[in-house]
Structure 1
Amino acid sequence: MREELLKVNQINKSFGPTKALVNVDFTAYRGEVHGLIGENGSGKSTVTTIIAGIQKADSGEMIYKGEHYDPKNALEANAKGICYLMQEQGTFEGISVAANIFVGKEEEFVKNGLMNVGELYRRARIALDRIGASHINEKENTSRLTFEDRKLVEIARAMENDPEILVVDETSTALSKSGRDLMYQVMEKMKENGKCVIFISHDIGEVKAVCDYLTVLRDGHLIATLEKQEFSDDAIRKLMVGREVSENFYREDMHATCEKEIAIRMEHVTHGLLKDINMEIHKGEIVGLGGLTDSGMHDIGKIFFGLTQPDIGKVELGDGTRIDSSLTAVKKNMAYVAKDRDKEALITAASIKDNICAPVLPRLGKKIFVSSKTEKQYAQKWADELKTKMQDINQYVMYLSGGNKQKVSVAKWVGFGADIYIFDCPTRGIDIGVKADIYKLLMKLKSEGKAILMISEEMMEIIGMADRTLIVKNGCITGEFKRDEGLTEDKLIEYII
């Protein structure tokens, strides 16, 4: 007999004219992982942030442990045993890992007006070891950690609260395989202990593997709740988008093609983990760069765009121009879509319009003047091109879903009309319908002779799209493969691990 833990009744939520949730019912039971899936803007994060006390519903009711539940804020929800792991960064900069784990609980370490820092570190060490993140130093400033390790710190903080319900909102997309395994172990322990996990993901394979039940949302409406035996790729896709969606998103040709002319090259680059990296990208070529999160592949993207200067070696264009800064890169018609949306790709406290127009302002105006009408038309065109779900182009980016933030990040640079594109995890947090659109966009850019570097932690994505694939392991390129029907994920993994 399933024991009800949380019941959401007829929840409604609107943002201006946009109805984010319409009469949504949802029940979470003990000892289960309950999945939530849907396209970007379907309402997944809205309903879970209401459950977690981050925002209020306009109407409806929640029953938790048999009692009326209406948390004033996230701290009250945490105190009642409901914790939320957000898709984007949820740690605080400038303070230690230990301070992040116990944020809001500092009084537990104060005696006679003095902070017992030693005890803070001791308990943080226990919290990190408990989830298997022993490699993270509890004394380290959180701003020095990788994006993945910051997510692990958030998991340690959540588990320190011993939650009854843990909401995991696309967190796994920020984690490598080892990080995901830690996350899954935490989820399994919660199930064993009679707790509940509400798990949001766009990855149908992942949802099928880890969830016991699955609720599908579309345009703010609850469409269906499926039991494990009802899970199938085709059924889930159709419920998500309201139409049949082909499983094959990728390009159909199996032949590597590109122009002879080299667009950009990296020569003998050494920096941090990276050791003597040599690679080139031709016009009309998609080069896939794959590996584990901490392999160094993301650093290669930053060095190509001039965001990081190598200790040894250089990056130069086909005409010999040295890329010595991101300013030079932009001037030379290069574009960079960063993996970390909130910190590197977007200004979240600015509008969609301002973000999309930022790289092209000098082109939109005459001398120092830019027409407001021109800005609006330009932003609207590219927001629509990427099918961004929004109130309007003046909406602040911080209020968009993770996938719609990604669409703005891509729109910003595609509209720029670059000759060289660096896409770092371009489909992270994007639903299946838009993934197909992104891949079509990549092929359109390729057909126009653009040079594309696609960095991805998803090997099937690289196999499906790249003309040439390079694998990075421990800062070195360990394998290079041309597009071929015989190229498999297992073959690439040999060079990754």
Structure 2
Amino acid sequence: MNEPILEMKNISKNFGSVIALKNVNLEVYPGEIRGLIGENGSGKSTISSIAAGMQKASAGEMMFKGKKWEPSSMIDALQNGIGMVVQESGTIAGVTVAENMFLAELVQFKNKFGLISKNKMNQKATEAMKAIGVSNVTGDMNMMTLDFQTRKLVEIAKVIMKNPEILVIDETSTALSQDGREIMYKLIRKFRDNGKAVIFISHDLEEIMEVCDTLTVLRDGTLIRTFQKEEFDADKIRTSMIGRELQGDYYRSDFTPSSQTETALTANNLKYREELKSVDLVLKKGEIVGVGGLSSCGMHALGKALFGGLELEEGEVKTADGCSITNPHIAVNHKIGYVSKDRDTESLCLSASIRDNIAIGGMEKYAVNNFLILNKKESEYVQKQIKDLAIKCSDAEQLTSQLSGGNKQKVVFGKWIGCGSEILILDCPTRGVDIGVKQAMYQLMVKLKEEGKAILLISEELPELIGMSDRIVIMKDGCITGEFMRSETLTDADVISCMI
């Protein structure tokens, strides 16, 4: 490990007037899992995406295996030794697993007549999935039939299949439940043990301290410090990340379950394919109900069903006034907001501005008869959300696609909070956000709870469920298998016992 496999020298990156990276020097060595951590907008994804050919640096140079490194694209980088699994969705809906894997290289499956052999392509994709430990996904499956976690595992298999010298994992664990994470951990440790390098980006401090050999902290586009394994200390790393001590509570400090009795939303006998099997749930005003479980347990389908996003086979979702929620339009009209786990596809229009994404939910606040838009009132409406949620942006006209993961999530929150949602369905709301933004979101949830809002918190993170919920509902195989009230003595082991 004397010679680095990747050297990045004085790398800078500007997006208009926004400085994403400032003269960053980074060296990655073979046989190393290098962690990158920092607040949203610190430059973690930017520096790794430059190495992986996703974008060009504004200044600086790179060396890979002792030679100048200037990949023209992610495909070029992957074919020559650096592969990246991106934070958000990196697959194409509506086509098969195999077509996603081999989109840029179909020529290898042409027969003597110039036709693509789908059988060979499907077989190779199936083998690639089995190679990473996933045996229930075949190459001929349509991506639309797969859940978010499985789509992410397809992305991992696509990169692993090329056997790169450096594997970049950008916030991928947040898309995976515990069993999916174990698959990923096994793969990256195998890479390290085979003398390859891994760049591992995560906001989960406990995870990154467990997985990584070294840890580099970025803040505001600047490299702050690199910790060796023996130097790992949670408090020192947090202080390096945010440049200050965290103030106030992180999770809730009280351990008294909600005593509210007024019902906000009721679900009766919900049935949907194999994902929901006769599910009953009552959500009360001023209550945070957590929903947890392993992958494919049905919790994500439950969130969509409560928002009217699924055509249920049986059952009904009703508001307190007796209205049946059968589609998202009715849900929005009854003050129900939904934050999807797959925010880039289901919660945001990335090609639109911050203004448009926030404003679309609250026309009644600034338009006459939901028709004539009053520009001044609209601007005030949007600016209030940007200010209240501390959305880091150049201005309201900035494209949402240019924001970091945490700031994208704040835009989603702004859309639903701004229009006065009384019921919030939050599916993995802190996925891909840093510790400072997480704390702000948790404090916001407490504030909304105290205002009498009803919150359904779907999460794959047990500390989050235990730390924030008045009541925790555990799902397995489409059914509710257990329920826990808020308690100071409740442990991870208690909750896990109902999951497995």
Same fold, TM-score > 0.5, yes or no: yes
* Pair 1:395 & 2:398 matched: yes
Deviation at 1:375?
2.1
Please give the alpha-carbon distance, in whole angstroms, between the structure 2 residues aligned to 1:471 and 1:452: 16
Aligned pairs for 1:372-411 within 5 A: 372-411=375-414
For 2:31, the aligned partner's letter is G
Preserved contact between residue 2 and residue 30 of structure 1 (Cα < 8 Å):
no
Q: Which residue of 2 aligns with 1:107?
A: 107
Q: Which residue of 1 aligns with 2:417?
A: 414
Please give the alpha-carbon distance, in whole angstroms, between the structure 1 residues aligned to 2:350 and 2:156: 24
Preserved contact between residue 50 and residue 56 of structure 1 (Cα < 8 Å):
yes
Q: Which residue of 1 aligns with 2:451?
A: 448
Q: Which residue of 2 aligns with 1:289?
A: 291
Q: Which residue of 1 aligns with 2:185?
A: 184
Q: Which residue of 1 aligns with 2:204?
A: 203
Preserved contact between residue 179 and residue 295 of structure 2 (Cα < 8 Å):
no
What is the root-mean-square deviation of aligned Cα atoms in Å? 1.3
Please give the alpha-carbon distance, in whole angstroms, between the structure 1 residues aligned to 2:387 and 2:49: 27
The alignment partner of 2:465 has SS state of helix
For 1:94, the aligned partner's letter is G
Q: Which residue of 1 aligns with 2:330?
A: 328
Please give the alpha-carbon distance, in whole angstroms, between the structure 1 residues aligned to 2:248 and 2:260: 30
Please give the alpha-carbon distance, in whole angstroms, between the structure 1 residues aligned to 2:303 and 2:74: 36
Q: Which residue of 2 aligns with 1:91?
A: 91
Preserved contact between residue 48 and residue 167 of structure 1 (Cα < 8 Å):
yes
Q: Which residue of 2 aligns with 1:315?
A: 317
Please give the alpha-carbon distance, in whole angstroms, between the structure 2 residues aligned to 1:86 and 1:247: 33
The alignment partner of 1:47 has SS state of helix
The alignment partner of 1:293 has SS state of coil
Deviation at 1:164?
0.6
The alignment partner of 1:355 has SS state of helix
Q: Which residue of 2 aligns with 1:146?
A: 147
Larger deviation, residues 146-155 vs 401-410 = 401-410
Deviation at 1:128?
0.9
For 1:378, the aligned partner's letter is Y
Aligned pairs for 1:15-30 within 5 A: 15-30=15-30
The alignment partner of 1:111 has SS state of coil
TM normalised by structure 1 equals 0.98
Q: Which residue of 1 aligns with 2:214?
A: 213
Deviation at 1:449?
0.9
* Pair 1:475 & 2:475 matched: no
Please give the alpha-carbon distance, in whole angstroms, between the structure 2 residues aligned to 1:366 and 1:80: 57
Q: Which residue of 1 aligns with 2:58?
A: 58
Q: Which residue of 1 aligns with 2:6?
A: 6
Q: Which residue of 2 aligns with 1:351?
A: 353
Q: Which residue of 2 aligns with 1:174?
A: 175
Preserved contact between residue 16 and residue 391 of structure 1 (Cα < 8 Å):
no
Larger deviation, residues 447-456 vs 266-275 = 266-275
For 1:283, the aligned partner's letter is K
Please give the alpha-carbon distance, in whole angstroms, between the structure 1 residues aligned to 2:50 and 2:205: 24
Please give the alpha-carbon distance, in whole angstroms, between the structure 1 residues aligned to 2:159 and 2:247: 38
TM normalised by structure 2 equals 0.97
Preserved contact between residue 8 and residue 27 of structure 2 (Cα < 8 Å):
yes
The alignment partner of 2:20 has SS state of strand
For 1:398, the aligned partner's letter is S
* Pair 1:48 & 2:48 matched: yes
The alignment partner of 2:254 has SS state of coil
Preserved contact between residue 258 and residue 282 of structure 1 (Cα < 8 Å):
no
354, 363, 378: which one pairs with 1:361?
363
The alignment partner of 2:156 has SS state of helix
Deviation at 1:189?
1.3
For 1:153, the aligned partner's letter is V
* Pair 1:431 & 2:422 matched: no
Deviation at 1:111?
2.8
* Pair 1:487 & 2:472 matched: no
**What is the percentage of aligned positions where both structures have the same residue?**
47
Segments of structure 1 that go 5 or more residues without pairing to the other structure are: none
Q: Which residue of 1 aligns with 2:125?
A: 124
* Number of corresponding residues: 497
The alignment partner of 2:245 has SS state of coil
The alignment partner of 2:198 has SS state of strand
Deviation at 1:88?
0.7
Deviation at 1:2?
3.2
Deviation at 1:246?
6.1
For 1:225, the aligned partner's letter is T
Preserved contact between residue 251 and residue 464 of structure 1 (Cα < 8 Å):
yes
For 1:479, the aligned partner's letter is G
Deviation at 1:94?
2.0
CA deviations 1:330-352 (Å, max 9, x no partner) are: 11111111111011111111111
Q: Which residue of 2 aligns with 1:298?
A: 300
Q: Which consecutive aligned stretches of 4+ in structure 1 deviate over 4 angstroms post-superposition?
A: none
For 2:447, the aligned partner's letter is K
Deviation at 1:248?
5.4
Aligned pairs for 1:450-469 within 5 A: 450-469=453-472
Aligned pairs for 1:331-342 within 5 A: 331-342=333-344
CA deviations 1:341-377 (Å, max 9, x no partner) are: 0111111111111001111123311232112232222
Segments of structure 2 that go 5 or more residues without pairing to the other structure are: none
Q: 1:246 to 1:474 in 2, by over 3 A?
A: farther
For 2:339, the aligned partner's letter is V
Preserved contact between residue 97 and residue 139 of structure 1 (Cα < 8 Å):
yes
The alignment partner of 1:222 has SS state of strand
Preserved contact between residue 98 and residue 121 of structure 1 (Cα < 8 Å):
yes
Deviation at 1:293?
2.8
CA deviations 1:16-43 (Å, max 9, x no partner) are: 1111000000001001100100000000
For 2:258, the aligned partner's letter is T
Preserved contact between residue 39 and residue 435 of structure 2 (Cα < 8 Å):
yes
For 2:164, the aligned partner's letter is P
